[in-house]
Structure 1
Amino acid sequence: MLKVKSMLSKKDYKLGIFYGKDPETEELATKFIGHLINDLKFCYACQISKNKIDCIQCRKHLKSHASKIYFYIKVRGAFNSAEEDKINLLPKEIPPIDFLLVIGIHKNLLVKLPEYLKDKGVKAVIVPIENPKWVSPELQVKVLFEFERYNIQAAFPKPFCSLSKEEDQYNKVGFHITKQRNYIDEFIDYFQIGVPIISILMSSDGRSIEDACILQSAPCGSTNYIIQKLKLKCFNKENQDEFSLIEEINKAHYSYPCRASMYHDHILEDSIFQKSGYIVRNSIRCELYQARYKRKLYVKLEES
């Protein structure tokens, strides 16, 4: 394996999780948590692939964050119209934590979350949106404003694998993320999840991936699987390199599988599923081209 300097924070953080009662939401929450704790049984991509291959053990070198997760609570969604009843559906007390991950809870509970957390010492709240039905743009802006008002940092990445320390179309201040975001950046660095960041070593002929290191994974853990599937694949027809690479990434992305919604999202102008595929493809392609350039440069230096 490539040895690359870790981006991991030196601090010790605590994470809590609220998730909704819908079965699809629970499945997504299980996927995210399975990656964080490095549960080797949660990924079955190899077994359900077309060729039904044995597990390729792509996760065996990963760290587990199980000791950093202080609670994992399913939040029921049934309530009546009384305002006090909505907030009472959330736990009365939670252990002291730094970060709260909120996955697919009912919108009427989400809107009360900033008030609920105001005295609980939470530094940052991450609300991934994997289904456009979870959070409307109007609600997103409203809740983000309330988090700002209570001096709690928050992010609404859509999809979760778009979360980045860089401000871009997926990480806009005032829409996706609060003005203050240093703790959100700490969350990204500490758990090493968000937009995939990869370091690749190309073969001597520049036609295949010899080795790779995942510096930052998609939160569902798909990056490790996709990279392993690409290793030693030969892209040897120069005029078909681009198509061949995209095809292989798409196959692995579907096989993992990605659980993001296929419903059209009018903000993204596409489905969240398709956007997540674009994000991972773009991350790998950019690094692959850089790795090829580095390999060519290295060969030239050796020959000079």
Structure 2
Amino acid sequence: MDVSIFFSGEFGRRFLLNLAYPEMCPKLGACGIDACDYCKDYDFSSKIVMAEEFADPSSYGIYIDDPSSILPEILDGDVFIAINLHPDILVELPSIVESYKALIIPVEDPRWCSPGLRNQIARHCEEVGIEFACPKPLCTLKPETKFISKFCEEFRFGMPRFEVKLNDSTILNAKALTDACGCAYYVAKKMAGYWIDSKENFWKEIHQHQCAYPCLASMERDVEIKESPFHLGGYAMVYSFSQAVGIDAPEFIPHHMREFLNFAD
């Protein structure tokens, strides 16, 4: 599958770097140049047909009269990913990229795409026959439709999943199977050698590494999830890694957050 990425801001730059230039991971500052062991064994640069960086949405003012006037010619592709773009651009995207099979609009910050705008875009995508996902944050993306599922499989993308080898209560090694921004690879590397003495300390350790990557999801409270996207991303990471070692984590995740992780009570 071929992907186009239109973005603004630091998260968009990190997302593109992680997808297309994994060997440049040390630039993110997580492991550091000296400690990098190049654990990301992929390179999807040949699958990216367009990568366009835009100015911050606020620089365009409240309204953009003609969004198409600031967009380049759209090349053919399969999945279109729009990160932190002006609302007037987002709302027109289903028509602009109608030759694509799927549109993904991550919401790392509640200001990026309001629930009302998301619903409007979803209706428009349905009208033109494009699959649509608006994960909040991106690491909660679930492969629920045909082409988005294919994208997640081919790009090892979405909510974190891990493969972990244990010796009694010690983690011998861990490998990220799916990831959204590179954080899962960092967590997997840092958890190698950890001795699990209690669930509480284990969960705290995972969460500390997620924070240290660092996670760029907003800490601003979101009206839908009733906490910040940052915290939901943390719950996703801890829950997924816990599952990989055979530890269920129901009490770690607040009840009001579980629906966003497809986690039943």
TM value normalised by structure 1: 0.75
Which residue of structure 1 aligns with residue 193 of structure 2? 232
Q: Name the structure 2 match of 1:264.
A: 221
Q: Percent identity?
A: 28
- Per-residue deviation, residues 50-73 of structure 1 (Å, max 9, x unmatched): xxx94142x335111111111211
More displaced stretch, 242-251 vs 146-155: 242-251
CA distance in 1, matches of 2:239, 2:94: 34
Alpha carbons 1:222, 1:256 under 8 Å: kept: yes
Matches within 5 A, 1:1-304: 13-20=1-8, 26-37=9-20, 38-40=22-24, 41-47=26-32, 54-57=34-37, 59-76=38-55, 77=57, 78=60, 83=65, 85-91=66-72, 93-118=73-98, 121-165=99-143, 181-203=145-167, 206-217=168-179, 219-235=180-196, 237=197, 241-289=198-246
Larger Rg: 1
Amino acid at match of 1:39: E
Q: What CA distance in whole angstroms lies between the structure 1 residues aligned with 2:224 and 2:103?
A: 22
1:184 positional shift:
0.8
Q: Distance in 2 between matches of 1:229 and 1:212?
A: 9
Which amino acid counterpart does residue 242 of structure 1 have in structure 2? K
Deviation, 1:153, is: 1.1
Structure-2 separation of matches of 1:207 and 1:80: 55
Q: CA offsets, 1:71-105, max 9 Å, x none?
A: 2112344268574x2232222x2221111110010
Deviation at 1:290, TM superposition (A): 6.0
Paired residues of 2:19 and 2:43 also in contact (CA < 8 A): yes
- The CA distance in 2 between the partners of 1:127 and 1:188, in whole Å, is 14
Q: RMSD over aligned Cα, in angstroms?
A: 2.0
> Number of matched residues?
243
**Higher relative contact order, structure no. (Cα contacts within 8 Å, ≥ 6 residues apart):** 1
CA offsets per residue over residues 123-172 of structure 1, 9 Å max, x none?
Answer: 11111100001111011001110011011111101110001125xxxxxx
Specify every segment of 5 or more residues in structure 2 that has no aligned partner in the other structure, as ranges: 249-265
Work out whether residues 75 and 90 of structure 1, in 8 Å CA contact, stay in contact via their aligned partners in 2. Answer: no
